[in-house]
């Protein structure tokens, strides 16, 4: 793990010291090398056990896919941000790239932590660079309000988790993820419903669960492209990953609290999908789409079945790549038209015909068309939810139908129709942008061959 963590840490001084003319090419190439090196983590010799273990860090089939996803998206964030930073002076470019590097290092440590206290510390550390990226490099004045929403939602929900972890440390004299799994009997939460809620609330807000999601659309709409990509692809997955880690150690789940959360998660799929149908802002539409998909992930993790956990892992990775690609495509439109309003940005297939292919392929994966990994993840989740309660098939089926509707609506609104006269003099798509989209599509295509390497091996 240190072979990836230390080189990532060294990108911080690299961003501050490299010549301005070679800043972007060298950092992109360097981070791509780290991403290729991280692929070795997917080959775990001990399928059901931790490996690369040290005192505080270790990887296993649950954390490895998320570490690789983080490493893969780091160079893509740098590629996507180049146009956004063109007008900025060199020292601001350096600060932006070093903020991304700090965030990347914190994320890798969070996913690799083998102790709940270290996991919590790094989980909260990711808040600082993310807040800096949103509030300093956002597009509009409302970015400060978005930052405040993001800060207070996360902090207010994280405090109960810290108290719960300190209580567990006081009782068991350790907070090791591995040792908690080996406890016989496991941590009893049937009698202490408050403990269970304290342990899961922070992750439910981070996912985010419907009802606790108001910070997410604000943060997405105001963040720069790199901020949107890392929020959608990695930071939401911290919630799912933390929920998988902590809920397997808490048993049995108190039914009085489990049912309301399941209802919120499944009902949230319908609500947020319906909101997407009437959105006028392209970035807000993609943000609400993320809430809808994460509702499926939350519900499947709460079922605590092997199929549910595997489906959650697959869908988290698939959604990370898909939503990041959608934000990248939305950004290519925004850089040319300087508006995100769907009514104004129409008929772009005529201006950017090759980019339209990227829109089509990414939209097909977003609506979970077979044989994409999104489809495999959703199929496992819907099956495990049906096994938990047959009634859920109605709600998840309707959710799938509405997802297909708003995805097609988004594609038709942006690509078809007549282009506005004010956008006739639009410069063509660049090689950088095509590389960015293809580097999202490549793993989405390759993972179809063997989705088991990102399934967490729960079955």
257-279: pLDDT as tens digits: 999 999 999 999 999 999 999 99
Q: SS3 for 425?
A: coil
SS3 content of the chain, % helix, strand, coil (to 5): 75, 0, 25
Angstrom distance (rounded) from CA 264 to CA 201: 13
Angstrom distance (rounded) from CA 177 to CA 183: 10
- The residue with greater pLDDT, 421 or 118, is 118
pLDDT tens for each residue of 22-57: 999 999 999 999 999 999 998 866 555 677 777 789
- % of the chain beyond a pLDDT of 90: 74
What are the C-alpha distances in Å from 165 to residues 7, 170, 193, 255?
31, 9, 15, 22
pLDDT tens for each residue of 55-82: 789 898 899 999 999 999 999 999 999 9
Predicted pLDDT at 283: 93
Quick one: average pLDDT of 442-448? 96
Sign of CA dihedral 362, 441, 318, 72: negative
Angstrom distance (rounded) from CA 39 to CA 426: 38
Angstrom distance (rounded) from CA 90 to CA 16: 10
Predicted pLDDT at 45: 64
Nearest to 48 by CA among 60, 32, 36: 60
Retrieve residue 435's tokens. 């590389």
Quick one: average pLDDT of 365-387? 95
- 113 phi and psi, to 5 degrees? -65, 135
Predicted pLDDT at 362: 97
Retrieve residue 421's tokens. 């006269």
Q: SS3 for 349?
A: helix
Predicted pLDDT at 188: 73
Residue spans per domain, the chain: 1-43+51-253, 256-459
What are the C-alpha distances in Å from 192 to residues 179, 188, 257?
21, 8, 11
pLDDT at 425 over 70: yes
Angstrom distance (rounded) from CA 9 to CA 4: 9
Angstrom distance (rounded) from CA 320 to CA 407: 16
pLDDT at 343 over 90: no
Q: At what angle do helices 353-366 and 431-446 cross, to 10 degrees?
A: 30
pTM: 0.96
pLDDT tens for each residue of 160-191: 999 999 999 998 888 888 888 877 667 777 66
Angstrom distance (rounded) from CA 111 to CA 405: 34
Angstrom distance (rounded) from CA 299 to CA 308: 8
Mean pLDDT of the chain: 91
């Amino acid at each position: 793990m240190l072979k990836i963590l230390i080189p990532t840490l060294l990108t911080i001084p690299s961003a501050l010291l490299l010549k301005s003319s070679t800043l972007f090419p060298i950092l992109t190439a360097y981070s791509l090398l780290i991403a290729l090196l991280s692929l070795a983590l997917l080959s775990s010799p001990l399928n059901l056990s931790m490996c690369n273990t040290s005192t505080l860090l270790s990887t296993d089939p649950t954390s490895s896919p998320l570490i690789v996803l983080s490493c893969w998206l780091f160079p893509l964030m740098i590629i996507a941000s180049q146009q956004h930073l063109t007008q900025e002076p060199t020292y601001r470019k350096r600060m932006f790239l070093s903020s991304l590097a700090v965030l990347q290092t914190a994320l890798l440590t969070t996913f690799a932590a083998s102790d709940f206290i270290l996991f919590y510390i790094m989980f909260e550390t990711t808040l600082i660079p993310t807040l800096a990226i949103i509030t300093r490099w956002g597009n509009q004045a409302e970015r400060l309000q978005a930052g405040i929403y993001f800060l207070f939602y996360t902090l207010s929900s994280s405090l109960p988790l810290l108290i719960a972890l300190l209580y567990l440390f006081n009782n068991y004299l350790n907070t090791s993820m591995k040792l908690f799994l080996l406890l016989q009997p496991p941590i009893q939460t049937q009698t202490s419903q408050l403990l269970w809620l304290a342990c899961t609330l922070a992750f439910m807000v981070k996912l985010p669960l419907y009802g606790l999601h108001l910070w997410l659309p604000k943060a997405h709409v105001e963040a720069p492209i790199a901020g949107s990509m890392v929020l959608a692809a990695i930071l939401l997955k911290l919630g799912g990953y933390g929920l998988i880690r902590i809920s397997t150690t808490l048993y049995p789940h108190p039914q009085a609290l489990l049912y309301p959360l399941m209802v919120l998660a499944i009902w949230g799929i319908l609500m947020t999908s319906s909101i997407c149908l009437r959105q006028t802002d392209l970035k807000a539409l993609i943000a609400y789409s993320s809430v809808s998909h994460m509702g499926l992930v939350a519900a499947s993790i709460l079922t605590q079945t092997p199929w549910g956990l595997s489906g959650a892992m697959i869908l988290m990775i698939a959604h990370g790549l898909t939503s990041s690609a959608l934000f990248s495509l939305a950004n290519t439109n925004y850089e040319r038209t300087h508006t995100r309003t769907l009514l104004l940005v129409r008929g772009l297939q005529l201006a950017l015909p090759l980019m339209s292919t990227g829109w089509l392929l990414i939209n097909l994966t977003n609506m979970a068309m077979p044989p994409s990994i999104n489809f495999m993840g959703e199929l496992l989740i819907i099956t495990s939810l049906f096994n938990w309660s047959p009634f859920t098939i109605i709600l998840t089926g309707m959710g799938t139908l509405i997802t297909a509707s708003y995805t097609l609506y988004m594609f038709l609104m942006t690509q078809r129709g007549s282009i506005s006269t004010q956008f006739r003099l639009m410069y063509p798509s660049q090689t950088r942008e095509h590389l960015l989209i293809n580097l999202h599509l490549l793993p989405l295509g390759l993972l179809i061959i063997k989705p088991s390497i990102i399934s967490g091996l729960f079955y």
